Structure 1
Amino acid sequence: KISKKLKINLSCSHVGRFSDGEINIQVNENVRGDDVFIIQSICSPSNDNLMELLIMVDALRRASAGRITAVIPYFGYARQDRKIYSSRVPITAKLIANFLTNVGVNRILTVDLHSEQIQGFFDIPVDNIFGSLIFYKDIIKKKKEDKITIVSPDIGGVIRARAISKILNDVNIAIIDKRRNNSNTSQVMHIIGNVINKNCILIDDMIDTGGTLCKAAKALKKNGATKVYAYVTHPVFSGNSTQYMKYSEIDKITVCDSIPLSKKISESIKINTQTLSNILAESIRR
């Protein structure tokens, strides 16, 4: 999709496996002195996709590419960005940054990093695109039809919600205050703001297990919200999340195509997909 927007043909390369399962990559055309863009999300299977990216960068560097930009729509391992629960845990976001820098990447282009401070882990330029902007046209339609409130499912997402609110001429904001029990589960506590008789627009950077959004939607409906629409950049959908989302209080989910959705997921829940290709193509063109 990105290459079509840019009217540029995709380069020819081979990505395969040796008999023992190791990744085998070969670049099949001359890239000497070229400005090369590698598009690869670090999503499931995360380890395989990460290694493919690193090996591809190494192959291009050894083929004398002029500049290498890693276009990573979904930056995996980003949630482990600091020490919280124990002094004996890794900071994998920094580790991945080191891998990419040391292997020879010259620039990173990504979308909605889980936390903005990850940009500081790199010693190379990082462009972190605000992916939620692609939801603007869909949200503006709902604003014209009904009274809406932009909702952040946690304190950490307030900046993202405020940005959307500002674009919509300062639409009201609500915040859900929750207490996280561990890295993958959370418990909604209470809502800051008025959601009575409002169509609530939940804005978040990712859906993983679905716990945060499902409990947020339940709390919003309990507090008088008419409908709840979720707009999420990265559809991770791990574990039994699809079943969880299917029976949730969320009326509709809209996600980006930063992570490929399986046919099973697409058919099992009320989900709409919008493409990042336009915004990524424009960023590459610049």
Structure 2
Amino acid sequence: MKKIKLLLLFVATAAVSVSCDLGDEAPYFGDSRAIVGFSRTSQSNGIVTDGTDKTVNMVIELIGGNQSLPADSDIAVSYDFDAASSTATLGHEFDFASANHTAIIPAGSKSVVIPITVHSNNVVVNDDKTIVIKLTGASSSSATVVGSNYSKLTITLVGSCFSNLAGNYSVAYTSGTFPIVVTEVGVGSYKSNVTPGYTQYDMYFTDLCDTLTITDWYGNDTYPISGTGTVQPNGDLRWTSVTITGIYSNRAYLFRKVN
């Protein structure tokens, strides 16, 4: 009889031990504890490098436990920057919006949004940087734990070139100089009221990190257009290898910026 009791005691103790370990690793919704963590383990954010500060949000949420209900009371979650695992530098590419590194999941809620301020003037195109944030603890009036599989978030900052080509230009032909108006039709996408070689007809082009690509024009269905160019340091648009099939080929034009 003693052997049976000891065996039952051993099994019960082992079961409690396994439950505690799995509770941190893999939350289940019948758990009475509130288990918190990041809503994802990684995210990528495009940053337009126009010199202004940007806001990137990360989300901490109630990912399990608490009988699958919202928080019974406020849950304070602390977090910190994992410098050793990051390639971005605190104070250079980014700063925390809050100095105390603590977020509150309010009672009756399941998540909280934490903003990070990114300094776009220090973000470099084609040189992605990562910010690794780790949760360091969670507390509430009821039992609360951080799920270890959800305790770290890697944020990748992807630099995107700033484009601002809308404005007035001019082009010089042998017959004279003609005004040009360039308008923005989308992010990095533009329309010119002049097509190179003509004094009229709309032309469409894109700007990617000062590299210009002609995409369309008034007569594109009959006479396809192609061509590339570059944005000059003074703001001029220099076009090279402009070709309108059946009309002309490999011509160069300069749209001079009018201040």
Determine if the TM-score, normalized by the shorter chain, exceeds 0.5: no
Which structure features the higher share of helix residues? Answer: 1
Larger radius of gyration: 2
Bigger strand share: 2
Q: TM-score range by the shorter chain?
A: under 0.3
